[in-house]
Structure 1
Amino acid sequence: MNASGDFILQTQKLTKGFLGFIAVDSVDLNVERHTIHALIGPNGAGKTTVFNLLTKFLTPSSGTILLDGEDITAARPTQIARRGVIRSFQISAVFPHLTVRENVRVALQRQLGTSFHFWRAESSLNVLNERAEELLDLVGLLRFANDEVADMSYGRKRALEIATTLAMEPKLMLLDEPTQGMGREDVDRITELIRRVAKGRTILMVEHNLGVVSTLCDRVTVLQRGAILTEGAYAEVSSDPRVKEAYMGKSAA
């Protein structure tokens, strides 16, 4: 872990209100470079709203967002992505009727400056095959490169989504519930995949599976009713009676 204070992402008093309801309440978030940082909390705690604010799908009511120390609060979603903040979603966002390789090549097109040149021959994208296959190998999908995505299991679709996220060369990956809806085998596979791709990268993840959080994450921020309840290493926050009460709905014994 890097020296204290080397933060890739920070928020200062980040707040979002909807018609009088405060969904995110003065959140000060500090994500250290080259770590895996989890944002957890009970349903309705404001986790996904924070992600939407960070990627500018929502505009903050007040507060500041800093990336590498630079204020990006007023930036548009496309500008945020160009700065290297790339997000995956709770629902797998891949093209079901393309092959696995083709999905990754679509994400890689940005490097050729042909993102919107859909009239070009498919063969013009063959130069991307080597990098696409490197990414598929990284996420354990190389042997499925020619398979149509619609025929794949849910867990493998999520692995493919991580590959397409990596194709965008992220400096900060935002993973929104990466193991949601998975059985134990897929959860274990995706957990190991996240650990593998995290090397040399920074990951901020919303995750409901505390087993995943405990094995992966360097630091955990707990939200309750839109505000930070506590923060620290998993062992520290999981033993906090306030966290137990927030999750269980009653005071810890």
Structure 2
Amino acid sequence: MQEIILETIGLGKSFKGFSAVTDVNLKVTRGTIHALIGPNGAGKTTCFNLLTKFLEPTSGQILFNGFDITKEAPAEIARRGIIRSFQISAVFPHLTVLENVRVALQRGLGTEFFFWKSGSSLNVLNDRALELLHEVGLEEFAHKETLNLAYGRKRALEIATTLAMEPELMLLDEPTQGMGHEDVDHVTRLIDRVAKGRTILMVEHNMKVIASIANKITVLQRGSVLAEGSYQEVSSNPLVVEAYMGSHGGDAL
């Protein structure tokens, strides 16, 4: 039997009477890539914000490994192993690629607030940082200032820093947004590679990406679940086709 790592039960969020998310029941299976898709304004990012407690749910429950985490703070959620990336680039531009990963790894040393310690005290993290950079294909850029990385490589670095937090569940918010075809293909292969032995929940607008790597897809429309299943199942669902054609001006799934 497949193990459920994350489950939402009747999850909802209202803003002054407007329901952004309504009765979302989501089950994410351990060891899979689960995609959350939908037209603009469907509630995808709101769902992510609820799962990581950047927003407080108005209704419903969030269960992680069977524990109710609905009332927990964002830091507690992260300590449990739910680690999120964001749509915008979130790296330190004037640190090297290696230093960015070391900052993420520093939590394991328990010295992240010891501001008086010298940078050399982090050298103990170099080997692990280089392992992570190798995993995302950035080892040769280890000593390059992050400011000078191409956009696609910055996104790869963000995945490395997310992995440094040792996530049990990775939440990736629009990981290929704003990329050209070559970068999209590279990051898609990267996500597929790092997903081995891990669980990923991702919001993604690019249907080619979804079709190639997602094991299961949940489609949202107007804050509610419209359909769920494999890419073949949801892409042939008349309700999903209508929702996308209406919002994307006739673009095919």
**Gaps spanning 5+ residues in structure 1: where?**
none
2:169 matches 1:172: yes
Given candidates 230, 234, 241, the residue that maps to 1:237 is 234
State the AA in 2 paired with 1:157: K
Question: Which residue of structure 1 lines up, in the alignment, with residue 62 of structure 2?
Answer: 65
Equivalent residue pairs, number:
250
State the AA in 2 paired with 1:69: G
Shift of 1:42: 0.1
2:146 matches 1:149: yes
Shift of 1:118: 2.1
Deviations 1:226-245 (A, max 9, x none): 00000000100001111111
Given candidates 16, 22, 27, the residue that maps to 1:19 is 16
Question: Which residue of structure 1 lines up, in the alignment, with residue 97 of structure 2?
Answer: 100
State the superposition RMSD in angstroms: 1.3
Partners of 1:60 and 1:80 in 2: CA distance: 14
Given candidates 176, 180, 185, the residue that maps to 1:183 is 180
Question: Which residue of structure 1 lines up, in the alignment, with residue 123 of structure 2?
Answer: 126
| TM-score, normalised with respect to structure 2 | 0.97
Question: Which residue of structure 2 lines up, in the alignment, with residue 114 of structure 1?
Answer: 111
Given candidates 50, 53, 64, the residue that maps to 2:50 is 53
Partners of 1:70 and 1:131 in 2: CA distance: 31
State the AA in 2 paired with 1:192: R
Shift of 1:206: 0.1
Partners of 2:112 and 2:82 in 1: CA distance: 18
Shift of 1:166: 0.1
Secondary structure at the aligned position of 2:63 is classed as strand
Shift of 1:92: 1.1
Deviations 1:189-238 (A, max 9, x none): 00000011000000000000000000000000000000000000010000
Question: Which residue of structure 2 lines up, in the alignment, with residue 210 of structure 1?
Answer: 207
Deviations 1:98-120 (A, max 9, x none): 00000000000011001111220
Runs of 4+ in structure 1 off by over 2 angstroms are none
Partners of 1:243 and 1:138 in 2: CA distance: 36
State the AA in 1 paired with 2:134: D
2:4 matches 1:7: yes
Secondary structure at the aligned position of 2:104 is classed as helix
2:34 matches 1:34: no
Shift of 1:63: 0.3
Shift of 1:164: 0.1
Secondary structure at the aligned position of 1:110 is classed as helix
Question: Which residue of structure 2 lines up, in the alignment, with residue 81 of structure 1?
Answer: 78
State the AA in 2 paired with 1:97: H
**Gaps spanning 5+ residues in structure 2: where?**
none
Secondary structure at the aligned position of 2:12 is classed as strand
State the AA in 1 paired with 2:42: A
Q: Which moved more, 1:243-252 or 1:156-165?
A: 243-252
